[in-house]
Structures are given as C-alpha cells and as structure tokens.
Amino acid sequence: MEDNLALRQAVQVVCYFDASCPFAWITSRWLLEVERLRPVDLSFRIMSLSVLNEHREIEPWYREFNDRAWGPARVCTAAEIGHGAAVLRDLYTALGTRIHAQGNKDFDTVIPEALEESGLPASLAEAARSEEFDTALRARHKAAQDAMGEEGGTPLITLDGATFFGPVLNAIPKGEQAVRLFEAVRTLAGTGPFAEMKRARGALDFS
C-alpha cells in the first residue's frame, strides 16, 4: 500500500533555465517527457548565464553568446514579474523551439514571435534591450546559485530537495529511456556522498 502511494505522489522538480542555453533546453525537454509519463510536479525558474559569466575571462565567442543571452533572460524576467511564474513554461517553450529546435538566433524576431505565441503583450520585447529588470534577474540567478550551494551553470535542477548541475544531455531521451534516466538521477540526487560524474560530449540533437 505504501509503495503504491509513493508511486502516485508527484515528485517535486524545479528546472532553472537560461533560454539561450542549448543544454538547458535539452534537459528541460527531457523533464517534460518524464512529466508526461510519471507523476512529476515540474516548475520552471530563471537563472542567467549572462550574470554568471559577467566578470569572467572567457573566450570571445562565448562572450558574444553571453552578451546576447541578456535579451531572452530579461524578457522572461519581465514576463514573470508582470504575469506570474506560470507563464514561464509556455514562454520558454516558444523561445527555445525557435532558438534551438529551429536554429533561429535572430532574437529580434524570435522574442516577439514567442510572446505572441504565449499570449503575452508584445511590449515585453522592449525588456530585451533595457536594464530595467536586471536587478530582478540577478536576484533570480542568485536564488538558483544559493539553492545549489555554489556557482553552477545550466542545466540546473532541483529534485527531491537536492539542487545540482545537470544532467547534461546531448539529445532528448524519450519514453521509458527518459524515465530510467530520471530514476537514476533521482537515486544519485538522494545519495549524499555523490558529487560529480562526467564524460565527453557528443553532437547535439534537438529532435
């Protein structure tokens, strides 16, 4: 009876995302696949690679990436402030589908289209080029870092109360493969001594 009850209880999961990050996108789509198949209470919160890497010495191509990543992160922050955290799921999906699945890096086009698809005011696009919401964005990023307990990039998730960087995936697991990975990650998250595991990354597949 207790085992059956445990199976029915939704696992609390938080996905911290930067909409520009391809790895966060893949991990978020994996979690949505798990949510489709198992009782998972999945919510989305904002973090920012732009804030994380603001004062770091990084390669020029990555500096350019981080400088451009301010725009989508600011828009997500403005949307959350004005319309509540619940809008982040659909807005992130609309942004990420264009940026990652469709390969459109023209944020001036992507952001208005994503806002329209999400049923949000077009005026929110103005936040992309404004510092108006930067204090709020920094606070959200800090909350993600505080949850982890040290600096970490994306993907960042909270599972069963434990927050950690990863899993970093090259492709989106589907079906029972997605569930098996989730249960494995959940086991690692619940294992206190476990700290890190890593191997070489392959080519990204957003399909």
pLDDT digits (tens, 9 = 90+) for 70-120: 999 999 999 999 999 999 999 999 999 999 999 999 999 999 999 999 999
Tell which wins on pLDDT, 83 or 199: 83
8 A C-beta contact, residue 78 and residue 19: no
Taking alpha carbons only, the member of 29, 46, 35, 33 closest to residue 13 is 35
Whether residue 5 is predicted with pLDDT greater than 70 in this model: the reply is no
Pairing of strands 40-46, 156-159: unpaired
pLDDT (tens digit per residue) in 111-165: 999 999 999 999 999 999 999 999 999 999 999 999 998 888 999 999 988 999 9
What is d(CA 156, CA 71) in angstroms, rounded to the nearest whole number? 20
Distances (CA, A) of 71 to 48, 78, 125: 10, 11, 9
- pLDDT: is 196 or 76 the higher one? 76
Q: 81 — alpha (psi -120 to 50), left (phi > 0) or beta?
A: alpha
- Amino acid identity of residue 50, one-letter, is S
What pLDDT digit, counting tens, does each position of 46-56 carry?
999 999 999 99
pLDDT of residue 195: 81
